[in-house]
Amino acid sequence: MMDGMTTGSRARSFGSAAARYAAHRPSYPAALFDAVEELAGFPLAGARVADVGAGTGIASALLRARGARVVAVEPSEGMAAEFRRRSPGIALVRGDGDRLPLATSGLDLLTYAQSWHWTDPALAGPEALRVLRPGGALAVWSNDPDTDVEWIADQQARIEKHFGPGWYINKPARPLPGLDFATRRLRWSRPVPVDAHLGKLSTHSLFLVGEPG
């Protein structure tokens, strides 16, 4: 179990690895955005969307490609700089989900791609309700390792043996007061060379801060 200080240091660690993050973190399949549209009840095309914890812009760029009007929100200076380098046409503001620098009732959709676990839901939940229009939607997703695959399960066990449980700290979103709640699980895969896989592992916060459990 990690205390708040350790969690905070991990959340702040990505800026130093922004270029590696952009190079090695996986994208998201088209089926994910199909599911977002289905569950939200409206198309992404033309929707006013804020992508929070946008990082280097992986999800923001895909949302824009689906026709959304995207503004990105990112707390890290290093990640924001990499975002602007890769996606200069997408607006970006500095901030985080606990204190959104966004107008009240101005959004159709608020997204957290691989970033909800860095928020305090007691703060981020009310903030989501504040910035969404009536009938708007909050979408939270992550790429999680499939431990039904033998080599992935073995890798997880080796990492946890060294760092302790909780090294991979994505936590599923829970129901929030004022919002209907639905989940969808999508399985997908991609071919990855070994060096790229190791590069991806090196962008995870626990490896960046180097704090074994």
pTM of the full structure: 0.83
Q: Is the pLDDT score of 137 beyond 70?
A: yes
C-alpha of 139 from chain center: 10
b vs e for 6-39, b when ≥16 Cβ sit within 10 Å of the residue's Cβ?
Answer: beeebbbbbbebbebbbebbeebbeebbebbbee
Span 169-178, average pLDDT = 71
- pLDDT of 9 reads 54
Closest CA to 143 of 209, 70, 58: 58
Q: Write down the pLDDT at residue 2.
A: 32
| From 2-6, 65-69, 74-78, the region with the lowest mean pLDDT | 2-6
Q: Count of domains in the chain?
A: 1
Cβ neighbours for 67, distance < 8 A, ≥ 6 positions apart: 43, 44, 45, 46, 47
What's the rounded mean pLDDT across residues 186-200?
A: 84
In a domain, 142, yes or no: yes
Q: Which CATH number belongs to the domain containing residue 164 in this structure?
A: 3.40.50.150
| Tens of pLDDT, residues 70-121 | 999 999 999 999 999 999 999 999 999 999 999 999 999 999 999 998 899 9
Look at residue 150 and tell me if it is in a domain.
yes
- How is residue 26 written in tokens? 């996986």
Return d(Cα 32, Cα 29) in angstroms, integer. 6
Span 206-213, average pLDDT: 56
Per the structure, the complete domain to which residue 184 belongs is given by: 21-208
Residue 6, in any domain of the structure: no
**Is 4 a member of any domain?**
no
HSE value, Cβ hemisphere, 13 Å, CA-based, for 207: 13
Helices (H), the chain: 4-11, 18-24, 30-40, 58-65, 77-86, 121-131, 150-163, 194-201, 205-209
- pLDDT over 70 at 167, yes or no: no
**CA gap 25, 40 in Å, rounded:** 26
Residue 172 pLDDT: 66
- Whole-number Å distance between alpha carbons of 108 and 195: 39
Q: Which residue has the higher pLDDT, 14 or 114?
A: 114
Question: Would you say residue 174 lies in a domain?
Answer: yes
How much of the chain exceeds pLDDT 90, in percent? 53
Give the three-state DSSP class for 191: coil
Q: Is residue 10 part of a domain?
A: no
User: Which one has a higher pLDDT value, 179 or 137?
Assistant: 137
Do the domain assignments include residue 177? Answer: yes
Q: Distance between CA atoms of 190 and 98, rounded to whole angstroms?
A: 33
CB 203 within 8 A of CB 24: yes
- State phi, psi for 113 to the nearest 5 degrees: -100, 105
Least confident of 16-20, 59-63, 84-88: 16-20
Tell me, yes or no, whether 130 lies in a domain.
yes
The first and second tokens of residue 173, run together, are 């979103």
More confident of the two residues 57 and 212: 57
